[in-house]
Structure 1
């Protein structure tokens, strides 16, 4: 009986040694992602960093981003050639275009539709905004994206690397994107709404990519929303710059001004609304208190 009591006392002592005090936290593994308020804050920081770069850097990074859009457009078409099943075709096209966006996000290039998220985040959450600079940056990003997309399309055409099957598939893609032209003003409005949806998704691609803390997570975060917007035929102006640049140089299917008037302009307006309001403003307002706490501003 005495031996049993000794064993019980020994067991109780062991339990006391392993008991965690109530006022101490148990160590937990570090998170492999940033929380939403940190992501919104990072958006503002990135927007400020882009805005205060020298103009030559802004323009060069915009040219680079536009070039990646054409590479992504070409890859999306190449992967879809000969694929009859629509679901598989959409999946492969989305994966192809995600390659272009991954290069943009990870290289820090300046894409018009991405800064529709970053600059409003800076506007909502950071001080010292220079309006003249922000308008100039927006314009340089848009023009730089167009020039970069067209320049790569010229190089691709000069290389004579692509087969006739590619151009047949390109014609299908262009018809899919320009179908709204047949509906006149109603089609113009439809493109605008489609543009809102497109940049809502691309804003979330930027959100997920920023959340990830390793390269694999960044690729996956980019890929999922991009596959969705490609499959849904949502009109994304920067993406369409790549497709249209190839179309202008390879066929007379549509005139260059038709691409601009009946797609790029309404899509761009929609992209501004989708990125600025449905991503940047929405999350900035939702996490306003957390952002004020992080920056030490409690007013």
Structure 2
């Protein structure tokens, strides 16, 4: 069958989390770097489509191309390992420790950030012809996104910070559902369809994705956005990362694990 039942794909989730924890540092960084770079390219592609067509929905429909590419190639996003690796710890897999989970998260964060930052610099260079002219419409749009999604939140104080946090939770609920979607089918077409739907939803709703933001905000600063690195960290990246962690693990990882792999006892009639 091309479709796996929930108990089967949840077992695959735990297996995947275990394998990522024991992966070499070299491979973890390479896979995370490429994931960050591809997702950054997908983000600038979707923004370009939105700017040129004036139809945000079209950009959202096309953005999942990057997500599907990176997962079919076996690369890793921070939002994915936030969900998968803790399951191996909860399942008490031999040798899996809290230290191992945290090390994996740290390496994937570094790799994702390096990949996204590389694309941010390259695209800023392209948009400005080597920083010799002002950025065009797409570059200005990215700079504007950076301002509105840092200073715009900061204007509301603690309420703005928690708004980002909740948008991060909602984001990784959908993104991690896309990660799981790649596991429910043995056919490429089935994997792509299952990944496409939740990723399109998160992007159109402008939920906060930590790795996409690793591209958007450094790129926005490079292209003249009127906000600082500290604005980016405090009023976007930090609450987004925390929200991604809580939302993905709570709404996707733990719910699927608890009800499909560690089911409760059957009721007696």
Describe the superposition over 1:89-132 as per-residue Cα deviations: whole angstroms up to 9, x where unpaired.
1x222233212211221111121001011112222235111222
Q: 2:35 aligns with which of 65, 84, 89?
A: 65
2:182 alignment partner, SS class: helix
Residue of structure 1 in register with 2:207 after alignment: 234
Q: Residues 243, 126 of structure 1: CA spacing in aligned structure 2 closer, same or farther, 3 A cutoff?
A: same
1:167 alignment partner, SS class: helix
* Alpha-carbon offset, residue 212 of structure 1: 2.1
2: CA distance between counterparts of 1:159 and 1:121?
Answer: 42
Q: Which runs of 5+ in 1 are unaligned?
A: 1-30, 292-299
Q: 1:147 aligns with which of 114, 132, 140?
A: 114
Describe the superposition over 1:147-178 as per-residue Cα deviations: whole angstroms up to 9, x where unpaired.
11001222223344887121233234334533
Question: More deviation in 171-180 or 239-248?
Answer: 171-180
Residue of structure 2 in register with 1:286 after alignment: 259
Q: Which runs of 5+ in 2 are unaligned?
A: 130-134, 265-269
2: CA distance between counterparts of 1:233 and 1:156?
Answer: 21
Contact 1:210 1:218 in 2 (8 A): yes
* 1:38 is the counterpart of 2:8: yes
2: CA distance between counterparts of 1:97 and 1:260?
Answer: 24
Describe the superposition over 1:64-90 as per-residue Cα deviations: whole angstroms up to 9, x where unpaired.
111112101111111101434xxx41x
Residue of structure 1 in register with 2:234 after alignment: 261
2:53 alignment partner, SS class: coil
1: CA distance between counterparts of 2:179 and 2:22?
Answer: 20
2:149 alignment partner, SS class: helix
Contact 1:117 1:279 in 2 (8 A): yes
* 1:206 is the counterpart of 2:176: no
Contact 2:11 2:261 in 1 (8 A): no
Describe the superposition over 1:24-76 as per-residue Cα deviations: whole angstroms up to 9, x where unpaired.
xxxxxxx3211111111111111111111111111111111111121011111
* 1:136 is the counterpart of 2:103: yes
2: CA distance between counterparts of 1:226 and 1:250?
Answer: 27
Q: Residues 191, 60 of structure 1: CA spacing in aligned structure 2 closer, same or farther, 3 A cutoff?
A: same
Contact 2:86 2:101 in 1 (8 A): no
TM-score using structure 2 length:
0.88
* 1:114 is the counterpart of 2:84: no
Q: Give the alignment of 1:1-299 within 5 angstroms.
A: 31-84=1-54, 88-89=55-56, 91-128=57-94, 129-160=96-127, 164-178=136-150, 179-289=152-262
CA RMSD of aligned residues (A): 2.0
Contact 1:51 1:137 in 2 (8 A): yes
Contact 2:147 2:227 in 1 (8 A): no
Residue of structure 1 in register with 2:132 after alignment: none
